[in-house]
Chain A
Amino acid sequence: MTAIEYRQAPPPVDFGSLTTATGTAPPVAQGVTYERILDARSEPQNWLTYYGAYDGQRYSPLDQIDTQNVQRTTLAWVFSFSPQGLHAGQSTYAFENSPIVVDGVMYVSGWDGWVWALDAKTGQLLWQYKHAIPFDTSLCCGNVNRGVAVAHGKVFVCTLNAHVLALDATTGACLWDVTSGDVRAGESLTVAPLVVKDRVVVGSSGGEFGVRGHLDAYDVETGERVWRCYTIPKPGEPGSETWPAEGEAWTRGGGNCWITGTFDPDTNLLYWGTGNPAPDFDGEVRPGDNLHTDSVIAVDADTGEIRWHYQCTPHDLWDYDSNMECILFEQDGRKLLAHFDKNGYCFVLDRTNGERVRIFPFVDRITWGEITPDGQVTARIYPDEEGVEVHFYPGPAGAKEWTHAAYSQKTGLFYVPVQDTGARVARRRREFKESIPYWGAAVTVDAEDMAGSISAFNASGEEVWRWRNDLPMCASVLATAGDLVFAGTPSGKFVALDARSGELLWQFNCGSGHHSSPCTYSVDGKQYIAVPVGWGAWVEGFLPGMMGGPHGQAMFVFSLPEGQDSSGGR
């Protein structure tokens, strides 16, 4: 037999080198400082932080595209991406990103550890980073990531295997990498980081696996952890009296911080929402209010201490996380925040001290219970007896899930993506085991008799208009000074509404449902609207009637037709 001579294979390469990526981005992020982010709205050409500004309003002063010309808006470019090989959550990945834009460069994170830098004018891929994500990572709600933070020449991103990374904003090279959570315990990270001063703040995911939620701050230069704030108190700590004195319920209490918070430099407080208690639906194993689950917590940005809290759903039995945004605004000289909760009520609080100012419902059907204007909570329908099914509104995805409302400084209105969907839940007790879902119930969400809307409310809680949609609205809203409200639908339409009347002015079919956060920016004086499109994630929770909807994976960018440059790509 003749011996076979083996040859040297061609050398391995970075897979990203086999794309059109140029490899480098202009060093625009070098000059992004805390001071610039503080004053982000003074540079409306950029979208410098997750909500556009620390106040969480998702409002842009850009007004080139307005109610008079939005009908002429056309597609400027598309960045489309699809994965190679197998990845975690192959059936549940979604493009939940909120793009960051700095002086013509767009920084985007995708599912499964992807980060891209794009030319914001042409869509040209500049660089890409890929973190290797274990296929078997515990993910309650899909393979998702909601965005990056950019400052000090770095791009900060969290990974599904609970790492926090700092990437070089010009090349995508990893500068530091810290392990923030325990994947064996069921922890992951999906949050978009928030840079405040010289720290990058992130919160953990994993409430459905019975972890102990926490918020962490890391030094932007070194990755060293500066503080950690557990949302569930240990025995003897403030709030521990709301947990059983005996047993280990607190150790599995949930209360995760998986959505980016807001920040007020005057109070030096981070306003962060916390998630559901665990187990989600079996309250009998955790008697008490279960602080600080389902709460707005005000956290000292320097020390990580909780200064005050407001619990929206004490002793939650419906999976009503309070993670969603706290929009900071002023009214009659008071510094307030507005928080549209899963439980169907909006909470307006004095953000200096947590005092309740106003509570009002923002969805038609609320049957789980009632919260009076003075904050009294009465539970009416909830899983109680073992195996006995109950039906309630809103379902566990809430009247509004994590996707964000917007607030227009011009109109003084809040624009809220509303989901009006019920669910059937039967308590089913189970033992706690690390990394295994810890719901304590059998759950099926309604796939019919549902509705959605973009609803506009004034700060007094009066509904001013409603744009109705057959399906629940499951994507964030963007408000602009052009008196426009942009929102995506589960069927794939991206719509522009008149901010004062709710009239539909423009729409574009993106081919896949929306479950992300659009933004706006300008390059060379030309305004663009960017929206990540990619249906997926916890669809069985917020809209099972669209479980079969097409996954998408593209960034769509729109503008007025004059001067478009779609030359990205070689």
Chain B
Amino acid sequence: MFQRRRTRWPRGTRARRPGRRRHWRHQSRIDHHDTETHGDTETHGDTETHGDTETHEDTETHEDTETHEEVGSVATLTPDRSELLHELGLDRQNVGMLGRLLATGNIGRAEEGPDGRMSAEIHIVPDQLVWDPQILVLPHGGDLDIEFVNDDQNTHCALVPSNGDSQWMWLPNYSRGTMHVTLDGPGQYWFSSNIGNDEGRGLIGAIVVMGDVPASARLDRPPQPRP
């Protein structure tokens, strides 16, 4: 059973991001990028995501989002989670808490090229100390090119796990640069800006690798139940 809810973002509530190219699509939106934004959209409680959100680059952004939530599912988010986060000021800097709650940022998907190589663009939102998207989803393990863009007026950096060695780069104010990483799948990998307390304030993000291990690595047994 699903409860449906439509959310319309007010016109002009999202700031234009200079020089932005979008390599990912919002899957759902569970935070606000600025304090003027209200009417947040919702997350979903199962893996059957519906309600993609399409964004545009200008101030005339219309973001119709239709999301679903499975009622009664264990450990799902409550329907009013986003509103409550916002009401309590946990989804932006220095309102309810000092920073912002981790993993309350946007979710995006990496794009996959014909050769399987993936790419994504991740921004740092001005004065919000949050990656956008903060949760980047890859369809499988492999090679990923991330273009980081620092839209903030302070210097940060990016430390991203990668097989062989973590990759690290400076992200001075208003700068952009591309990093290549390699990740096995599946699982969740944290990345961050590891200076000052950027991490505690919110600049911790997750790269989520979907998929399964190769058939050769699976156990010789019948399919088993999962949670």
Complex formed: what's the CA distance from A483 to B188 in Å? 49
Q: Which of A86, A184, A234 contacts B186 (CB 8 A)?
A: A184
CB distance A211 to B168 under 8 Å? no
Q: Does B9 contact A (CB under 8 A)?
A: no
CB distance B184 to A161 under 8 Å? yes
CB distance from B1 to the nearest CB of A (A): 23
Complex formed: what's the CA distance from A564 to B170 in Å? 39
CB distance from B75 to the nearest CB of A (A): 13
Q: Does A252 contact B (CB under 8 A)?
A: yes
Q: Which of B163, B177, B188, B222 contacts A135 (CB 8 A)?
A: B188
CB distance A13 to B149 under 8 Å? no
Query: Which of A44-52, A266-274, A430-438 binds B?
Result: A430-438
Q: Does B217 contact A (CB under 8 A)?
A: yes
CB distance A433 to B227 under 8 Å? yes
Q: A8-B176, A9-B169, A184-B212 are in contact. Are A433 and B159 (CB under 8 A)?
A: no
Query: Which of A123-131, A307-315, A363-371, A389-397 binds B?
Result: A123-131
Q: A132-B183, A185-B219 are in contact. Are A14 and B188 (CB under 8 A)?
A: no
CB distance A184 to B175 under 8 Å? no
Q: Which of A15, A135, A179 contacts B213 (CB 8 A)?
A: A179
Interface size, A (range): 35 or more
Chain A residues whose CB sits within 8 angstroms of the CB of B47 once the complex forms: none
CB distance B176 to A6 under 8 Å? yes
CB distance A134 to B167 under 8 Å? no
Q: Which of A13, A161, A248, A251 contacts B169 (CB 8 A)?
A: A13
Count of A-B contacts judged by CB separation below 8 Å = 174
Chain A residues whose CB sits within 8 angstroms of the CB of B183 once the complex forms: 132
Chain B residues whose CB sits within 8 angstroms of the CB of A18 once the complex forms: 168
Query: Which of B22-30, B66-74, B83-91, B189-197 binds A?
Result: B189-197
Q: Mark A3-36, 1 if CB is under 8 A from B, else 0.
A: 1111111111111111000000000000000000
B residues neighboring A (CB under 8 Å): 18-19, 148-150, 158-159, 161-172, 174-184, 186-192, 194, 199, 204, 206, 209, 212-214, 216-222, 224-227
A residues neighboring B (CB under 8 Å): 3-18, 84-87, 128-137, 161-163, 173-174, 177-185, 187, 211-212, 214, 225, 230, 234, 248, 251-252, 431-436
The 7 closest A-B pairs by CB, nearest first: A134-B187, A9-B177, A132-B161, A12-B169, A251-B221, A14-B165, A179-B217
Beyond A9-B170, A12-B180, A179-B216, 15 additional contacts (C-beta under 8 Å) are: A6-B176, A14-B167, A14-B168, A15-B159, A16-B165, A85-B161, A128-B165, A129-B164, A134-B188, A162-B213, A211-B219, A433-B224, A434-B224, A434-B225, A434-B226
